[in-house]
Structure 1
Amino acid sequence: MLSARCLTNWFTNKKGLRFIKLFNHLHSLNIFRLLAALTMGGSTAGTAVAANASTVTVNSGDTVSKIAKDNGVTTDSIIKANNLDSKGTIKVNQQLKITDVPDTYTVQKGDTVSEVAQNYDLDTDKVLELNNLSWDNSTILVGQTLQLKDNSNADASNQSSQQAQVTPSTQTQSNTATTAKPVGDTVSQKAVSLALQYSQMNIPYVWGGTSTSGFDCSGLTQYIYNQLGVHLNRTAAAQVSNTTTKSVSQAQPGDLLFWQNASEGVYHVAIYIGNNQYVAAPTEGQNVQVQTISQYFAPSFAGSVNY
């Protein structure tokens, strides 16, 4: 392992910088965050998280790497928690401690996916996969909820055990979460955090929808800003008058993005969240979701919400 001094020296060397970026799958922004942590004692390198531990029994054919993969943690965390040798030698029927982690984590200012994974002794690739991210698209925002555990099997089992007790009335409600808590210092930051939370709640597009049981595009933007004490008009076209318009290239997180054409005028609206992405209630058959600005469906202009 390279020491902090060695890493710091390498940052001033182009070959060293290129090696570190490739070896650790880091982008330039994360390189400078790492340098800041090493040279200034910042918190970017991660803070140890106190956690409980559960145990698993080693079965025939098990390896530390297999157990780590099955539990979504790193091999190093198992070796460290159980004082194993460097090869990770284990025996059948041996009891191994596995560090417990919460199901989810709310992103704080300065977090990166790799830092969150490291703090909980998780495999970064696994955390990326659980949240539909990748090394090339690993941007996370303050207030976003990261999934840390794969609960698909548990959810399927729970759903199966309760299926006989579900009444027709509860079936129509679906399992959509309806609560969200704004996070941030400004109205714009809070709007972005709410938009991201709603994008993870399986809320369907409903024409004319203005609640968490279903939104249309302007119903979503109106609902989010109304929660923050800011009035927006009901339709996408009418919401233009609630903003100070600007070009899309000048859009800031929390701004509204508008789509228009010659025949319909303004027909669609979404909330810009930064990094060329926005949250929208797109169309019938789709849920509220994060989307990326594309040349094939590019917004016509943006608007800063007046409040």
Structure 2
Amino acid sequence: MTAAGKISAASLIISLIFLSTQAATADDQTEELSLAVILESVSLKGIPYIWGGSNLKGMDCSGFIYTIYAERVPDLPRRSIDQYRYGTAVTTGKEEPGDLVFFNTEGWSASHVGIYLGDGRFIHAASGEKRNGIIISSLDSPYYRARYLGARRLPVSD
């Protein structure tokens, strides 16, 4: 792992520890789901981008979300545009770890989706020359800030 990777991983772990100390104000079931989703999604970092993919050989953005959430949210649709219509809208700036974040990258509605990690970062399956595969990005990057549509909070299954 590179020094930058170690710093990124260390800051993510610190964020997770901070989140776990906030239990007094968060619903336990939602917090457990958020932590499990974050840990599982980060474990997939580096898997290559494959359009239409949703397995360890490769994933697209909505396939990544579907892979992480399918057992936790059985009714979750597979496509990003349909995932954007699912769950509860979250006010911008009120995103919580585990929320889905959506972007208009193709000129039509929700064409890209990721999982909010906290601290302005999200994990997603990115395509492109330098961003190919499951990576962590910043919501504050000019590219994503200009294309941000909003977040959705998924229902917690019983």
Measured against the shorter chain, the TM-score band is: 0.7 to 0.9
Preserved CA contact (<8 Å) 2:34 2:98: yes
Question: In the alignment, what sits opposite 2:22?
Answer: none
Amino acid at match of 1:187: L
SS of the counterpart of 1:188?
Answer: helix
Q: CA deviation at 1:229?
A: 4.8
Question: In the alignment, what sits opposite 2:39?
Answer: 193
Q: Distance in 2 between matches of 1:263 and 1:296?
A: 13
SS of the counterpart of 2:82?
Answer: helix
SS of the counterpart of 1:272?
Answer: strand
Q: Which has the higher strand share?
A: 2
Indicate the structure (1 or 2) with the bigger Cα radius of gyration.
Answer: 1
With structure 1 as the length reference, what TM-score do the two structures score? 0.40
The 5 A counterparts of 1:1-307 are 129=3, 131-133=5-7, 138-141=10-13, 142=16, 186-199=32-45, 202-260=46-104, 263-284=107-128, 286-293=132-139, 294-298=141-145, 299-307=148-156
Q: Distance in 2 between matches of 1:197 and 1:239?
A: 22
Q: Distance in 1 between matches of 2:154 and 2:86?
A: 6
Amino acid at match of 2:7: L
Q: CA deviation at 1:228?
A: 2.9
Preserved CA contact (<8 Å) 2:105 2:112: no
Q: Distance in 2 between matches of 1:288 and 1:263?
A: 22
- Over the aligned positions, Cα root-mean-square deviation in angstroms equals 2.7
Q: Distance in 2 between matches of 1:133 and 1:261?
A: 29
Moved over 6 A (4+): none
Q: Distance in 1 between matches of 2:4 and 2:120?
A: 22
Preserved CA contact (<8 Å) 1:207 1:284: no
Question: What do the CA deviations read for 1:7-46 (whole angstroms, capped 9, x no partner)?
Answer: xxxxxxxxxxxxxxxxxxxxxxxxxxxxxxxxxxxxxxxx
Q: Distance in 2 between matches of 1:236 and 1:195?
A: 17
Q: Distance in 2 between matches of 1:203 and 1:283?
A: 12
Q: Distance in 2 between matches of 1:191 and 1:209?
A: 19
Q: CA deviation at 1:130?
A: 7.2
With structure 2 as the length reference, what TM-score do the two structures score? 0.75
Q: CA deviation at 1:287?
A: 1.8
Return 5+ residue gaps in structure 2 as ranges.
18-29
Amino acid at match of 1:131: G
SS of the counterpart of 1:249?
Answer: coil
